[in-house]
Amino acid sequence: MYRRYAEGVAIYPQAAQHPTALTIAGFDPSSGAGATADLLTFAAHGIFATAALTATTVQSTRGVFAVHAEDPGRLRETLFCLEEDLPPAGIKIGMLASTDVLSVVAEYVGHVRAQRAVHVVLDPVLRASSGATLLQAALPLAAFQTLFPLVDAITPNLSEAAALTGQPCDVPADMERCAAALKRQYPQLTVLLTGGHLSVPADLLDDDTGVNWFPGEHIATTCTHGTGCAFSTALVAARMQGRSWPAATVAAKRFVAAALRDAVPHGSGAGPMALLPQLGRRAQAGGASPAHVPTASRR
């Protein structure tokens, strides 16, 4: 059961000076996606971030092999414990694993919203690229009905938009229809529908000013793990830095494109991106001392 962790301690003044972000996401032990990728992304933007885990996954670059949803009571304790000491100015919500976990997150975000202004972006993750189910919910839109009214923006990809609306989402005209359908139901939502898998990649932003298209580019790399996680987190970071939705979209797209372009291979499957410049090929080519690799033959 949740209890107060810091009775009577005034927390908000220092929080305003150095804004903290929070990711509410799953743990990917291979560090390509989920909370770890989000922390790296916030760090790359100069923002200190905390993390509350919604699930532990068993995965590598080769795919997701098991998902263990977090205990909802433990997640509630974590969220309210952090809230008292490190209240976030921006929140990224990723994989939610179960409807019980989702309910706790909705309770927490509702609580925060009632206290103060906060930027909240939800990546409505349903499945991993490898196909594994990351939210156990028979009806995805119904599952999100407590959370969608509480967040500023959602960042579905094509298959998530199709699952949420029950409509096909394969070509740009479908994307406009799906975004409009979501906005009809939740008019306060900014919908950022990512079309990285279109034949000509482009993202659609449907916000209060109307529909805007942001052309993308195809970047040839196998290091594509966690692109959705990093994109939605970079959006929160850009909003915390005061950018409009269109400017935040451009900034988040640039961030992910650079992280993809700069990535060096790790693992034998979909490898991690270079979310920090120090992890990328430019730093390594430029003489940043690579990690020491022990060699078995040196005896």
Contact residues: ligand PLP, CB under 6 A: 25-26, 28, 33-34, 57, 64, 94-95, 125, 128-130, 134, 225-226, 228-229
Q: Which is nearer to ligand PLP, 19 or 63 (CB)?
A: 63
Q: Which is nearer to ligand PLP, 28 or 207 (CB)?
A: 28
CB of 125 to ligand PLP, least distance (A): 4
CB of 33 to ligand PLP, least distance (A): 4
CB of 49 to ligand PLP, least distance (A): 15
Distance, in Å, from the CA atom of 105 to the CA atom of 68, rounded to the nearest integer, reads: 17
CB of 60 to ligand PLP, least distance (A): 11
| 256: Cβ contacts below 8 Å, ≥ 6 apart | 227, 230, 231, 234, 273
CB of 292 to ligand PLP, least distance (A): 29
User: Do strands 49-60 and 20-27 pair parallel, antiparallel, or not at all (unpaired)?
Assistant: parallel
DSSP-based helix, strand, coil % in the chain, nearest 5: 40, 20, 40
* Structure token pair of residue 109: 């975000």
Q: Which is nearer to ligand PLP, 87 or 99 (CB)?
A: 99
Q: Which is nearer to ligand PLP, 40 or 87 (CB)?
A: 40
Query: Residues 163, 135: contact at Cβ < 8 Å?
Result: no
Question: How many other C-beta atoms can be found within 10 angstroms of the C-beta atom of residue 34?
Answer: 29
| ∠ Cα 229 85 89 (to 5°) | 45
Q: Which is nearer to ligand PLP, 87 or 93 (CB)?
A: 93
> Which candidate, 80, 76, 67, places its Cα nearest to that of 29?
67
Q: Which is nearer to ligand PLP, 51 or 112 (CB)?
A: 51
Q: Which is nearer to ligand PLP, 87 or 124 (CB)?
A: 124
Check the CA dihedral 128-194-48-4 and report its sign.
negative
CB of 165 to ligand PLP, least distance (A): 20
Distance, in Å, from the CA atom of 194 to the CA atom of 206, rounded to the nearest integer, reads: 11
CB of 148 to ligand PLP, least distance (A): 17
HSE-CB for 20 with a 13 A CA cutoff: 17
Question: How many other C-beta atoms can be found within 10 angstroms of the C-beta atom of residue 222?
Answer: 14
Q: Which is nearer to ligand PLP, 44 or 125 (CB)?
A: 125
CB of 260 to ligand PLP, least distance (A): 12
Distance, in Å, from the CA atom of 169 to the CA atom of 91, rounded to the nearest integer, reads: 27
What are the φ/ψ torsions at residue 273 (nearest 5 degrees)? Answer: -80, 170
